[in-house]
Structure 1
Amino acid sequence: MKVTISKQCMGDRNCNDLCPEVFKYDEDKLVSTIQIDPIPEHLKALVRQAAAECGADAITIEE
């Protein structure tokens, strides 16, 4: 699984709160970034949940 965050990110930090092992908040740019790639198996469900709950639809998942 590969995850990307588009420029549509609103910086609401929901993904960071849900899965801090994968998503990191960039204080300078005020958006979330991806910390690890590819996503480990044990975190995939949380990443899918973060993508589903993203209000800006900024998280894209490639299986």
Structure 2
Amino acid sequence: MYAEVDKDTCIGCGACPDICPEVFKMEDDGLAAAYKNPVPSEFEDSAKEAADGCPVDAIHIDTD
């Protein structure tokens, strides 16, 4: 599973690293990034929760 943050959509709210800091972090530009790909299997559920919790749907999860 892979996670990606669309920087053009991200508003920098910080929800994703709050939910899943093992996969997402805030970068110097104030926007989120997925820094752990592929997502380790033990964090897949929390990465999906972070994607579901994104208020602007900036996180895309690829399960292939």
Amino acid at match of 1:55: P
List runs of 5+ in structure 1 lacking aligned partners. none
TM-score, structure 2 normalization: 0.92
The Cα of 1:34 is off from its aligned counterpart by 1.1
List runs of 5+ in structure 2 lacking aligned partners. none
TM-score, structure 1 normalization: 0.93
Aligned length: 62
Secondary structure at the aligned position of 1:20 is classed as coil
Counting aligned pairs with the same residue, the percent is: 32
Amino acid at match of 2:9: Q
Does residue 21 (structure 1) correspond to residue 22 (structure 2)? The answer is yes
4+ aligned runs moved over 2 Å, structure 1: none
The 1-side partners of 2:59 and 2:33 are apart by 10
The 2-side partners of 1:21 and 1:52 are apart by 16
Match of 2:57 in 1: 57
